[in-house]
Amino acid sequence: SARFSGKAPGCLSKSNKSKSSGSQNKPRIAVIGACGGIGQPLALLLKLNPSIGELILVDKDNMAGVAADLSHIETPAKVSHFTTQNPGDALKGGVDIIVLPAGVPRKPGMKRSDLFVSNAKVVYDTAKAMGEHSPDSILLIITNPVNSVVPVACEVLKNQGKLNPKKIFGASTLDSVRAATFIGEITNTDPREVVVPLIGGHSGTTIIPLLSRSHPSVTLEGEKRDEFVKKLQNAGTAVVQAKAGKGSATLAMAYAGSRLCFGIIRAMQGESNVVESAYVVSDIYPELKYLATPLLLGKNGIEKNLGLGKMNDYETDLFCKAVPQMKKDVALGEKYVKEQG
Ligand code: LMR
């Protein structure tokens, strides 16, 4: 049966058979915002993956130094770089995957949605550049607020007639990563063995773990279950508070982004049963145009949306309570694109 991927970087199968430079048929990946707090460790994790042919590092800040630094690591991925405000400069040759961690992080007291005003533009510009120069790319959005900026990207691409809903991913993977870690701690299990399906979105109460379907099975009820759910929903905020004005999760987020990216690559290269939850265009629940659910990945992005599946009453209640917020989050993104004309 399908399992979540969750493989750590460095444990990846070496399926590429090319002999010369080692980069033929391997994906070209652009990282937009590669100089930033998430961008740098993410670029490092991607560089360590021997399945990647080329890394194109893009940032408005000087990208040359980080690129020179990374290029010395003895793995096949070639490193190129662009210092530019315009992501289009980097996408002209076409890339297989665009990973977008650009944008500003939260400060204590802020909600993820407070970042929309600052971060919508880079998502808008990236989607526009993708539609113009590299419409067949897979786009993996890490920039917050994910619940609202994924609709921004999709509306831009739709307006260009270039939207392929199977190729646009909002990274909610850090919620899967944290859920496995916290359940591993509670049950004294190796967290690498723990899989908790995640649905909803990537903010506060829209982060919904389906413990009733976790693997191995977990029995957590009453206050203990409430505590776990609260800790998971508040985990990003806890990091923001601990960093005390110096940003939000960068290392675990880089890991989570790379995990989703590697799952996408493994599926692209023919591995079967690669499953990850992500926030995507969805027709699973009539009121929500976008929804995070477990997805079976394939050669061209999403092969099959595995849907909400079976939920118990507690999980159904969490989901129903989150629906109004998720609708608002989507509306915010759609309104922004309309206003740009
Ligand atoms: C996280 O979950 O850590 C990220 O979405 C960053 C944040 O602002 O919480």
* 81 is an active site residue: no
How many angstroms separate the CA atoms of 155 and 108, rounded?
A: 31
ipTM over 0.90: yes
- In this predicted structure, which of 19-33, 141-155, 274-288 has the lowest mean pLDDT? 19-33
CA-closest residue to ligand 1 atom 5: 236
Ligand 1 pocket: which of 239, 241, 243, 250 to mutate (most atoms within 8 A of CB): 239
Task: Supply the pLDDT for residue 24.
Answer: 62
Please give the mean pLDDT across all residues of the chain: 94
Specify the ligand 1 atom closest to the Cα of 106: 8
The two tokens of residue 299 are 């050669």
206 lines ligand 1 (CB under 6 A): no
Residues 306/293, Cβ–Cβ less than 8 Å:
yes
Ligand 1 pocket: which of 38, 100, 104, 106 to mutate (most atoms within 8 A of CB): 106
236 lines ligand 1 (CB under 6 A): yes
Ligand 1 centroid to 195 CA: how many Å?
20
Residues 102/125, Cβ–Cβ less than 8 Å:
no
The two tokens of residue 294 are 């477990």
Task: Supply the pLDDT for residue 23.
Answer: 56
308 lines ligand 1 (CB under 6 A): no
Count of helices and strands (H, E) across the chain: 10, 12
pLDDT above 70: residue 315: yes
Specify the ligand 1 atom closest to the Cα of 252: 3
210 lines ligand 1 (CB under 6 A): no
Among the listed residues 69, 175, 313, 317, the single catalytic one is 175
Q: How many CB atoms lie within 10 A of CB 33?
A: 26
DSSP 274-328: EEEEEEEE--SSTT-SEEEEEEEEETTEEEEE--S----HHHHHHHHHHHHHHHH
How many angstroms separate the CA atoms of 307 and 199, rounded?
A: 9
**pTM recorded for the entire structure:** 0.93
Ligand 1 centroid to 143 CA: how many Å?
9
What residue type is 317 in one-letter code? D
How many angstroms separate the CA atoms of 292 and 280, rounded?
A: 6
**Residue whose structure tokens are 């265009």:** 281
**pLDDT tens, residue by residue, 155-198:** 999 999 999 999 999 999 999 999 999 999 999 999 999 999 99
* 317 is an active site residue: no
144 lines ligand 1 (CB under 6 A): yes
Ligand 1 centroid to 236 CA: how many Å?
4
**Residue whose structure tokens are 């806890």:** 238
**pLDDT tens, residue by residue, 222-277:** 999 999 999 999 999 999 999 999 999 999 999 999 999 999 999 999 999 999 99
